[in-house]
Amino acid sequence: MKQGRLSVCLVLVSLMFLLPMFAQVATTTSYDSLMIDDFDQSHGDVDWVWYVQGSRYIAEGYPKMQYFEGAPNSVKYLQKEGVTGKVLGVEAAFNKKGDNWLEIFPAKKDANGKYVPYNLSLAGDIDHIDVWVWGAGYPYNLDLLLRDADGRVHAVPMTKLSYIGWKNIKTYIPKWMIQRSRYRSGAKTLSFVGFRIKTEPYAPVDIFTIYFDQLKYLSNTFADIYDGYDFDSKVFNEGAGL
């Protein structure tokens, strides 16, 4: 019995010395809500725009994109007095039923003046992305397009747009999605690619309208901070060898 008690005591003493060691390994977590776009066109320093494109059977003259004054009721109460909110609206129609889709994404002009897709880097370890979406009762599917740190684009299901009016859509990032490359030269963040709207084969394809507001995400902004993280940005100068 005495030998058993002695063993227990030794284990407890060992754990007491190890506790400070384990405490040093624990990482700091700080979640912040970061805005991608409030669609109020108040960000003068942004060098990209929203762009929309349709699939093969998009009707002539579509898709259309425009900003409108307004906001969901829950957002109106958060706006400063005298500020008029805006939302992003998209309208589309297709010539036939089937596998139709619509993509809404950030874009920048290239050297030839043509708009090309522009992925937005998201800071930290992303928990979820949420956005206010106005549905018109159509059985269309809304997907979130994300590019992981290995360069692959994933379509994450968000919601079916069969509801009427405004709804806050919250989409959690799957745990299997790689948010940071294991290589120093690889991508350090997840990137927002855009939205994709897909029609069901049986769904009507006459004039369809959708609106977006308050696109933001919740992120652990301390996820990329570790002892020595500042060396990731060091650059070796040409000809500076020993």
Segment 16-34, tens digit of pLDDT: 444 444 444 345 677 889 9
Lowest mean pLDDT of 7-11, 185-189, 192-196, 223-227, name the range.
7-11
The pLDDT of residue 100 is above 60: yes
Asked if residue 157 belongs to a domain, the reply is yes
Computed over every residue of the chain, the mean pLDDT equals 84
Asked if residue 241 belongs to a domain, the reply is no
pLDDT at 13: 47
Q: What is the CATH number of the domain that holds 81?
A: 2.60.120.260
Asked if residue 23 belongs to a domain, the reply is no
pLDDT band at 41 (very low <50, low <70, confident <90, very high): confident
Please compute the mean of the pLDDT values over residues 75-98 and round it to a whole number: 89
| CB contact at 8 A, 175 and 223 | no
Please compute the mean of the pLDDT values over residues 169-184 and round it to a whole number: 86
| Residue-range definition of the domain harbouring residue 181 | 31-226
CA distance 190 to 105: 15
Please compute the mean of the pLDDT values over residues 183-208 and round it to a whole number: 86
CB-based burial, 50-73: b 16+ in 10 Å, e otherwise = bbbebbebbeeebbeeeeeebbbe
Pairing mode, strands 140-147 and 49-54: unpaired
Percent of residues, the chain, with pLDDT higher than 90: 60
- Global confidence as pTM: 0.79
pLDDT band at 221 (very low <50, low <70, confident <90, very high): confident
pLDDT band at 233 (very low <50, low <70, confident <90, very high): low
pLDDT at 8: 46
Question: Which residue type, as a one-letter code, is found at position 189?
Answer: T
Asked if residue 16 belongs to a domain, the reply is no
pLDDT at 49: 95
Number of folded domains that form the chain: 1
Asked if residue 1 belongs to a domain, the reply is no
Please compute the mean of the pLDDT values over residues 70-80 and round it to a whole number: 86
Asked if residue 237 belongs to a domain, the reply is no
The token duo for 226 is 């570790």
The token duo for 162 is 């069969």
Asked if residue 190 belongs to a domain, the reply is yes
pLDDT at 190: 93
Asked if residue 134 belongs to a domain, the reply is yes
pLDDT at 11: 46
pLDDT at 122: 94
